[in-house]
Amino acid sequence: DSLLNVCMDAKHHKTEPGPEGQLYGQCVLWKDNACCTANTSLEAHQDQSYLYNFNWDHCGAMPEKCKRHFIQDTCLYECSPNLGPWIDQADTSWRKERIRDVPLCQEDCEQWWEDCQDAVTCKVNWHKGWNWTTGTNQCPKGAMCQKFKFVFPTAAALCEQIWSGSYRYTSHHRGSGRCIQMWFDPVQGNPNVAVAQYYA
């Protein structure tokens, strides 16, 4: 039970999940039971959000069809109360806990890669190694900007490496009850509740 319906101890998370009537945009999926506040959900959609001062456009403008996956990834991370089985200790100043090896549904990962393959970045692991001297992330000296499809040759590489192992690529399909969906239809209920129960 301690792994179910919980919020991780991190920078912007509420201490306990609960309803949030005013969640913004793509985060609205979690409004019935969320670990994020309305303000966090709004900031998740900003290009230069105060959440982490992270700039998606560090190698030029990220295409919108790609950016929506990063917004969805942020919404899942900030809002989902169903990541308990994968919460792990974190050794950073800004959070005590992180997620590790969350089993992502194959379609969610493949679509992310598909829509982002022509976006451009200079780093494989976006958690560390940036140049933060300006207050926002810039490419480290000598790092080349290249298309995602060269930096992340497969969907699995993208999902598993970009946030240093937060996600695990699986061959499980959406609706199988064995993988976490970044995207779902809230009218049908949240499928990740059952997935967390299965792994817990």
- The predicted-structure confidence for 30-58, as pLDDT tens digits, reads as follows 999 999 999 999 999 988 777 888 999 99
- The Cα 132–Cα 122 span in angstroms is 14
Chain centre to alpha carbon of residue 167: 9
Average of per-residue pLDDT across 98-104: 97
Distance from C-alpha of 28 to C-alpha of 21, rounded to nearest angstrom: 9
Angle, in degrees to the nearest 10, between helices 106-116 and 64-79: 140
Q: What radius of gyration, in Å, describes the C-alpha atoms of the chain?
A: 16
Q: Provide the residue ranges of all domains of the chain, joining segments of one domain with +.
A: 25-199
- At 91, the pLDDT band (50, 70, 90 cuts) reads confident
Structure confidence by residue, pLDDT tens digits, 149-170: 999 999 999 999 999 999 999 9
Whole-prediction pTM: 0.95
